[in-house]
Amino acid sequence: MTTLISKWNYPTTVRFGAGRIKELPEVLADVGIERPLFVTDPGLAKLPVVASTLKIMDDAKIPYGVFSEVKPNPVESNLTAGIEAFRKGEHDGVIAFGGGSALDLGKLIAFQAGQQRPVWDFEDIGDWWTRADASAIAPIIAVPTTAGTGSEVGRAGVITHEATHTKKVIFHPKMLPAVVIADPELTTGMPPFITAGTGMDALAHCLEAYCAPGYHPMADGIAVEGIRLVLENLPKAFANGNDLVARAHMMSAAAMGATAFQKGLGAIHSLSHPIGALYDTHHGMTNAVFMPYVLAFNREAVEDKIARLAAYCDIKGGFDGFAKAVMDLRKELKVPHTLPELIKDLDMDEERKALIADMAVVDPTAGGNPVKLTKEGARALLEKAIAGEV
């Protein structure tokens, strides 16, 4: 019975459904935010979905500021600029609006604006989060416009340390948004490439959480249903961006993945993180590239679990059948099969390969891999993803 010991946390209030973005003024009042900082990314800031959302606040006579200096892989300078905007505007809360980068940075601004220590002092290591002044963390409302990271229901944010080119996970329980508005209508403008990449990110979260060792039957159950939702609905959302039913199911799957991965992630993410930090690739699409190689690497440890998963998803052939389904899905979504296909003019000498392997094994997600990830194993996986050898 000593192995049946765990700690479980579940997400926050979620207002789910088409059209619920109209409830934003009500949500702000409920949370007690009077002067929000609206955090989004520069591309999204130019689109009608942001203009229509800001008009909702204009009509409700809510004063707000807008901050959009967010890179696809947010860096410390983005956070510093965001904190300056938060303080200058005397804001009392954050609306994090967009994909994973905007959601993460919005949460980090709300967290860090009131702290005295550097953000790196709160990395997700041991009890470092207790160093923070919890009373100085501003409330957050999260509004996802993609269906992938699930950051809207997470208690952490990912940021790249520019000096070391490493991704760091910053954690605090109060980084969990007070309310999420999950409106699938906001995702209909996503181009197919982003739909595919974010959707495969949700699949990676669910799959790695399910395969991670440890006792967490609730996370396992959520992950399994999330995987089924992705397999059934991501191709539909990719083929028809206006399919609101498929978009809604993908939005659910994204939140489910982020809820489930409190159990753990694995080598898909621990390899994807250094690639993203060094080459500025799309995180979800990088996960999608590594997925079949890591699945094969972990086969001995997860074969029986994957066979049960395949049966639940009505996939014949056990582990092999599920692995084929992943490959077929990647092909349908036009996911690159190799790193050279993902990264144009890939320059990766032996020294760089060794660096990526070193970074992968110390990444905080590596510990959740069902097969212990060594430098040799990480290097072998990297070589296979370069050569396309599953």
Given the DSSP bridges, would you call strands 93-98 and 65-67 parallel, antiparallel or unpaired? unpaired
What stretch of H or E contains 160? strand 156-161
pTM higher than 0.85:
yes
In angstroms, the CA 179 to CA 12 distance is 6
Burial environment of residue 263 by CB neighbours within 10 A (0 to 12, 13 to 18, 19 or more): buried
User: What is d(CA 45, CA 97) in angstroms, rounded to the nearest whole number?
Assistant: 10
CA distance 267 to 211: 11
C-alpha 367/C-alpha 344 separation (Å) is 30
Query: What's the chain's average pLDDT?
Result: 95
Neighbours of 26 (CB within 10 A): 12
Please tell me the predicted confidence (pLDDT) of residue 72: 87
User: Per-residue confidence at 290, pLDDT binned at 50, 70, 90?
Assistant: very high
Q: Where are the alpha helices (H) located in 141-279, listed in sequence order?
A: 192-211, 217-239, 244-260, 267-279
Locate 36 and state its tokens: 């929000």
Distance CA 49, CA 187 (A): 9
- Coil, helix or strand for 166? strand
Q: Which helix (H) or strand (E) holds 112?
A: helix 100-112
Contact indicator for 328, 317 with CB cutoff of 8 Å: no
Distances in Å between the alpha carbon of 312 and those of 61, 181, 223?
50, 30, 12
pLDDT of residue 190: 87
Percent of residues, the chain, with pLDDT higher than 90: 90
Domains of the chain: 13-187 (3.40.50.1970), 192-387 (1.20.1090.10)
What confidence tens digit (pLDDT) does each residue in 90-117 have? 999 999 999 999 999 999 999 999 999 9
- Mode of pairing for the β-strands spanning 179-182 and 13-16: parallel
E strand or H helix at 100: helix 100-112
Q: Which of 19-28, 70-79, 220-229, 368-377 is predicted with the least confidence, judged by mean pLDDT?
A: 70-79
Is pLDDT above 50 for 1? no
Say what the pLDDT of residue 2 is. 52
What is d(CA 122, CA 126) in angstroms, rounded to the nearest whole number? 10
Predicted confidence (pLDDT) at residue 166 exceeds the cutoff of 70: yes
Q: Per-residue pLDDT tens for 214-254?
A: 999 999 999 999 999 999 999 999 999 999 999 999 999 99
Q: Give the Cα separation of 41 and 50 in Å (integer).
A: 10
| 3-class secondary structure, 212 | coil
Q: Has residue 270 got a pLDDT over 90?
A: yes
Number of H helices, E strands in the chain: 15, 8
Neighbouring C-beta atoms of residue 131, cutoff 10 Å: 12
